[in-house]
Every structure is written in structure tokens, then in C-alpha cells.
Amino acid sequence: HHREIVLDCNSLSNDGLVLLKNYLVRNAYMEFGLRSLSLYENELSGMESLTAILQMMKVLPKIRRVNLKGNMFLKLSQITFMRSVVQQNQSRGYTVDIP
């Protein structure tokens, strides 16, 4: 079972993240219990990437940990994202590492 996906230091772009999200959702990763997604040190930036991650967290409810450190998110985007994570995940425990 694929409980963890690690794509650290891969130059993953926003477009690449959207493709990953579509792949995971389409291939029913919810059934496999994906729990951790590590995207440390990539080229992610802006709300496009953060929205894709929020969508993954919503559709794949077993995700408990997301590592976004080392990407290029503006502070305001980070704050908006974390508010959305809290609203979306009221009843479950989660860890989001963001710069």
C-alpha cells in the first residue's frame, strides 16, 4: 500500500503538482490510505499549488502530513492556506510543514 509519497528535491512545478493531484485522485489513492505527502525543496509557488494540495487533502481524507518546506510561497498565501486547512480538517489531526 502506498502510504507515503516523497518527491523531495525534484524541481516539481505547479503544473507538475496539478498532474500529480489528478493522477492520485483518478487512481483511487483514497483506498490505499495515502497518509503522507512530502514535497520538500521543489519549485512550488502561489495559490495554484496550495489549492491543489487542499483538494488532495479533501479527496484523500487519510492524508495526515504534508511537507511543503523549501518552496516559494508568499507569507500571505501560507496564511490563507493554513486557514483553509484548519477549516477543511476540523475533525482530524494533521501536520502541515510550510516555510
What size, in residues, is the chain?
A: 99
pLDDT, residue 1, reads 54
pLDDT, residue 58, reads 84
Q: How many CB atoms lie within 10 A of CB 19?
A: 13
pLDDT, residue 68, reads 93
**How far is residue 82 from each of residues 2, 5, 26, measured CA to CA in Å?**
25, 21, 25
Mean pLDDT of successive 10-residue stretches along the chain, which has 99 residues: 86 96 79 85 93 88 89 90 80 72
pLDDT, residue 92, reads 66
Judge contact between 23 and 56, C-beta under 8 A.
no
Domains of the chain: 4-97 (3.80.10.10)
How far, in Å, CA of 40 to CA of 44, rounded? 10
Helix/strand/coil for 53: helix
How far, in Å, CA of 98 to CA of 3, rounded? 20
